[in-house]
Amino acid sequence: MSNVEQSFLGKVTEKFFPPKPLNRKEELIVEIIETLCGDEDTDIKVAPVTGRYFLINKKMEYWVRINEFEVSITNHRFTLNYIGTPNYHSKLVEVVRGAVEKARDIFEKTVFENEVELLENIKLSLTNK
């Protein structure tokens, strides 16, 4: 399905099934996911075939699993499992994907800068021969 078709389908779905406001528990889960995604100690793993996302923060001892219908937040003392609407879980996945994209943008920028530096060093070594 193309991006245009997905966009159209999303607008039609919202028109006939408007998203309901988040309850306090859902708001807190979103805030926790956003905070973990923004923490440099959080490792984000993606299982693209099964659509699962994992947030692992060993320093704070939190582990999160997000899939199409459920989110699990765990540490050494508790586990919270929450099943919400597909729209809600899409929002959680959006937060994680945003964090992954941001990290990849930084990575690409760093790699590109290193490539330019490498090429400059090669040129310099060739001219100083």
Q: What is the pLDDT of residues 73-115, one digit of tens each?
A: 999 899 999 998 888 988 999 999 999 999 988 888 877 777 7
Do residues 89 and 82 touch, judged by C-beta distance below 8 A? no
Task: Tell me the pLDDT tens digit for each residue of 10-54.
Answer: 677 677 767 778 899 999 999 999 999 999 999 999 998 999 999
The residues near 29 (Cβ < 8 Å, ≥ 6 apart) are 71, 73, 82, 92
For 76-118, where are the E strands, in sequence order?
A: 79-83
